[in-house]
Amino acid sequence: MRPLEGITVLALEHAVAAPYCTRQLADRGARVIKLERPGTGDFARGYDRRARGLSSHFVWTNRGKESLALDLKHPEAARVLTRLVEKADVIVQNLAPGAAARLGLSWETLHARHPGLILCDISGYGPESERKAYDLLVQAEAGLLSITGTPEVPSKAGISAADIAAGSFALQAILTALIQKGRTGEGAHLEISMLHALAEWMGYPMYYALDGAPPPARAGAAHPTIFPYGPFRAADGEVILGLQNDREWRNFCATVLRRPDLADDPRFDGNAARAENAGALRAEIEAVFAAFPCVEVMARLDAAGIGNARLNEMADLWAHPALAGLWSEIASPAGPLPALRPPGLPHPAMGAVPALGQHSRAILEECGTPEPVIADLARSGAVTFGEE
């Protein structure tokens, strides 16, 4: 039995933050019913076609869910939504500000009728804000861009950091609320903003700049205050390495550079001195590395107990030996797709990626919708059916 078997989640969601949260609930065994717009569905379905004709974002964040494509503005939709709410243990939504309340899904309305229900509202900047909050915009507002990139050019993270942070904190909050409900029977109202979530991740640079102190400098793939730490050129590419203390520095000089004299050079005595003289030290390091391929440099680093890595691309990650044995296969409208099992779950559900409206008929019937009404909804375009 998976941890969340018997838990039903109603998801009014799009993009990444809420879908990432509810996919992980599905991985843990919850039943997740995803409400989508007829015809178009979650707009993340249209982000790209890179996953064998499907959207890479959608495949990543929506396995294991049931798709109900229903126009919530249709008069009959209100009755269906009422029945779905009655079945739900958890509701997760990241609709536009005010949209959930207009559908009767405010905390005040829901808690009065269903005191054991858990409602998780995910927003960009908090429940009072009506500002649009795309991931890039929140990365900017949270200061992530100010510390990421090169000294000349600020850069966004290459993944949806604000969305992932919000989805991860939403998952934690929901699991905590389910434990609390098991003790008290009471539901909970959880409010997660992308800005708040990413600000929590920004704790180190915030404290580093406490009381108006200068913030961490943008240093590309290097570290703003630790050296040597980051990429260094070898004969056939770059090696990423990191030193954390003076013991490692002495091992690095003796075993990797084979220049034990550098360990006592006053220019490099302690991390602060090494950082101040980073240019001179980089020249010393790369003069040695230039004579060897990356594999030889990494072997020396391993022998010295120095952390190191190659700069991998996506093909390298797919084939990474440390991930061997952690892959599974999921069904999708495009056929079987590889999928990485989530960390920390020995037996994840790993359900299929749904086609738009794939479960519409079954869910409508489960909600007691008569066949003539289903036919009328279909004729009017208020519901669509995918491959069942």
Contacts (Cβ under 8 Å, ≥6 apart) of 366? none
User: Residue 348 in contact with residue 28, Cβ under 8 Å?
Assistant: yes
Distance CA 101, CA 130 (A): 14
Distance CA 255, CA 253 (A): 6
CA distances to 71, 80, 103, 280 from 383, in Å: 6, 12, 17, 67
Counting Cα atoms < 13 Å in the Cβ hemisphere of 325 gives 3
| 163 noted as active-site residue | yes
**DSSP conformation letters of 162-210:** HHHHHHHHHHHHHHHHHHHHHHH---EEEEEEHHHHHHHHTHHHHHHTG
Distance CA 215, CA 290 (A): 34
Least Cα distance to 59 among 68, 48, 70 occurs for 48
DSSP state of 233: E
Contacts (Cβ under 8 Å, ≥6 apart) of 295? none
CA distances to 165, 208, 269 from 203, in Å: 13, 8, 29
DSSP state of 51: B
Indicate left, alpha or beta for 98 from its phi (over 0: left) and psi (-120 to 50: alpha).
left
Distance CA 339, CA 58 (A): 13
Amino acid at the residue 247 = R
- Of 42, 48, 163, 264, the catalytic one is 163
Say if residue 348 is preceded by a cis peptide, omega within 30 of 0.
no
Enumerate the active-site residues.
163
